[in-house]
Copies of this chain bind each other. A is one copy, B any other.
Amino acid sequence: MAIEIEKKFLLTSDSWREGASGQIYSQGYLSKSPEKTVRVRITETGAYLTIKGRPAVKDGKISAAKLEFEYSIPKADAEELLKNLCSGPIIHKKRYCIEYRGFTWEVDEFFGENEGLLMAEIELEAEDQEFDLPPWIGEEVTSDKRYYNASLSEYPYSQWGKGITEE
C-alpha cells in the first residue's frame, strides 16, 4: 500500500517529444465507483492489477492524494480480465517518461476513442511539494474528473465535442 500524490496537466506543445521514447499501455476497469477503481493494465514489460481509493475532497477541491495498491499478475490473466470482465472500451495509450529538473513527468498520448488527448502527470511526495513546470506544460486538470482514466474509458475524449479540448 502507498499513498499516491499525483498532479495532472494538459500540454501546450509537442516539444516534449524530443528524444522521448514510450511504452504501449492497454488498460480497463473492473470497478469505477465514486470511491475507488480497480484497474487492469498491460504494459510492454508486465501486467498489473491496481486498486486506487478515489481522492478525498478537501475544502471543496479534490485532493491529489490517493490510496494505491498494485499487484503484478500474469499477462494471460490480464488479457482475460480485459476481454471478459472489464466494462467499457479498453484504453490504449503510449506512456513517455521525461526527466525535468529532478522530477519524472509521465506523458500519456491516447489512441483509439481518446485519440488527440495528451496529458502529463507528476508524482509528488507531499501535496504542497514544489516543482518546476516544463515549458510544454499547460493547464492543471487534477480536479477535473473527465480526465480520470476511469472516466476516459466511459466517456472518451472523442465524444466530448468541440470547445472542451485542451487550450
Contact = CB atoms under 8 A, between A and B. Distances in A.
Contact of A80 (B38, B67, B71, B85): B67
Interface in A48-106: 49, 51, 53, 67, 69, 71, 73, 76-77, 80-81, 84-85, 87
B67 A85 contact: yes
B51 A69 contact: no
A71 B69 contact: no
A30 interface: yes
A69 B40 CA distance: 12
Contact of A30 (B51, B71, B73, B84): B51
A33 interface: yes
A35 interface: yes
Contacts of A30: 31, 36, 38, 51
